[in-house]
Amino acid sequence: MTKNELNKVIETTLQFFTSISGKKAECGIPFLKKDNPVVLEYTGIIGISGKRKGSIYFTAEKLQLVALAKSMLEEEDVSVDDIKDLVGEIANTISGNLRNIFGTDFLISVPVIIDGEARDIKLPEDIESYVIPINWENTKAFIVVCLE
């Protein structure tokens, strides 16, 4: 991935938070994923095929997803199913929006949801994976991009 592409991923992710909540998110310093696990309470994974191959995943604290779901649904009662669905929808929306940068041959799968903290998300070892920390309303998430 180029620096410009990474910046576009950050821009798209921050724009997503502003669009759905009206509140800005902040991006931490991106870093290369090594052996340390990068996984929080709920994760949505999108497989990428076409001209670029790999994965994009969004992993977040439950607190963040609950707050986002309340904001989107304009109601206080949010179920675990809503949260699981939302984490997949966030991964799907950010990945889909990235077609503006990567082109129409950037093909995305339906999301796979991981409920509960996994040990880690397995990604291809021969491709660099970039981790982008996201802070929103004092809650934490990461978007991880692994694209050849």
Partner 1 sequence: MQYQEGEKLSNRIKILIADDSSIIRKIIQRSIVEDTFEIVGIAADGLKALELFKAENPQIVTLDITMPEMDGLTVLEEMIKINPQVKVIVISALTDKATGINAIKKGAKSFIAKPFTTEDVRSKLLKLAETVA
Angstrom distance (rounded) from CA 16 to CA 51: 24
Choose the binding region for partner 1 from 26-34, 87-95, 115-123, 129-137 (rule: CB under 8 A). Answer: 87-95
Choose the binding region for partner 1 from 34-42, 92-100, 120-128, 131-139 (rule: CB under 8 A). Answer: 92-100
82 binds partner 1 (CB under 8 A): yes
* Residues 145/132, Cβ–Cβ less than 8 Å: yes
Angstrom distance (rounded) from CA 101 to CA 137: 28
Provide, rounded to whole angstroms, the least separation between the CB of residue 74 and partner 1.
7
CB nearer partner 1, residue 74 or residue 125 = 74
96 binds partner 1 (CB under 8 A): yes
> ∠ CA(20), CA(59), CA(2), 5° rounding?
85
